[in-house]
Every structure is written in C-alpha cells, then in structure tokens.
Amino acid sequence: MNPDKEIIIEILKNLDLFSELGYGAVKELAYLFSERVFQKGETIFEEDDTENSLLVILSGEVRITQRADLSGEETLTVLKKGDFFGEMALLEDRPRSATAIAHGDSVIMEISRERFMHFIAKDAASGVKILITLARSLSARLREADKKIKTFVNLSQWI
C-alpha cells in the first residue's frame, strides 16, 4: 500500500468523526477522500455554492464566514486540524450556508456526498456511527449559535 495512504488512514482514524470505526472502514474511506491544498487566504468554497462535500482539516486552519449587511463579512468560527466542515451540504442537498477560507496554509481531505452516501449504503453500521457523530457536532454548533443569539437579544434590549 502507498505509504501516503497509510498516513491518511492513521490521521482519519484519530479524528473524532471516524474514531469509532474499524480499520477496514477507515481504510475504505481514505480511498474515497481526495486531498486538496490551500494557501492562506484562498477560498475553499463560498456561501451559496452548490458543492456538496464534507471536508476534514489535516493541517492548517479554516475560517468560516457569512455575508453581513454592515461589515460585509462576519467570522463565525476558526476551525483547526481534526475539525470538519461542510456537513450540512453533505446531509442535505442545499447550497452552502457559509464561506470557508484557508486561515493559514492548509491541507484538506474532501469526500463528495455521492461517495459518502455510497459508503454508508455499503457499510450501514459505520455509516450510523459517522452520522451520530455528525448529529452531535451539529447539536453542539446549534447550542453555540443559540448562546450567541441570546447574547445578541439581551444586548439589543439596551440599545
């Protein structure tokens, strides 16, 4: 096997998203992902793009932003090695809800919705484990958004 693939398998296995999967499932996933390299400041995808893939950060950082009326752009979060993003477009066939920009030189692994759905249809047990992890992540992100909204509402009462 290609030594680079072994490294990717090891990296994927150590990510929270795939940590509950067996070696064989992670190995199969490693072959479904493609590697992409981005320079600092390079756009990975833009809000409203119709791409539908999940991305995992192998190295570097990614800034997630949304368009804002007054400031032009609002940073929602900065993601680091081991984090994943794009899961909303993976799970629902809708345009991207935010823009992703390389916050530093970054190596990203990407899997398309089509390849992901094929994988979970073939290996339902591993698919369920991944989907539960995705659901937990989305729940945590929703809770964080709820806190920000609550803070904003409380602050706006004083204006």
Domains annotated on the chain, with CATH: 3-156 (2.60.120.10)
Q: What is the reported pTM?
A: 0.82
Neighbour order of strands in the sheet with 72-79: 43-45, 99-102, 62-68, 72-79
pLDDT tens per residue, range 123-147: 999 999 998 988 888 888 888 878 8
Interatomic CA distance for residues 46 and 65, integer angstroms = 9
Interatomic CA distance for residues 26 and 92, integer angstroms = 23
Please state the separation of Cα 59 from the chain's center in Å.
13
Query: For each of the chain's 159 residues, which pLDDT tens digit applies?
Result: 555 778 888 888 888 889 899 999 999 999 999 999 999 999 999 999 998 999 999 999 999 998 877 667 888 889 999 898 998 888 888 899 999 999 999 999 999 999 999 999 999 999 999 989 888 888 888 888 788 778 777 777 776
Closest CA to 9 of 34, 29, 36, 39: 29
Phi, psi angle pair for 43, to nearest 5°: -80, 130
Buried b (16+ CB within 10 A) or exposed e, 65-82: beeeeeeeeeebeebeee
Interatomic CA distance for residues 82 and 67, integer angstroms = 26
CB 55 within 8 A of CB 44: yes
Averaged confidence pLDDT in the chain: 88
The two tokens of residue 113 are 């919705």
pLDDT of residue 1: 54
3-class state of residue 51 by DSSP: coil
Q: Which residue's entry shows tokens 């030189």?
A: 105
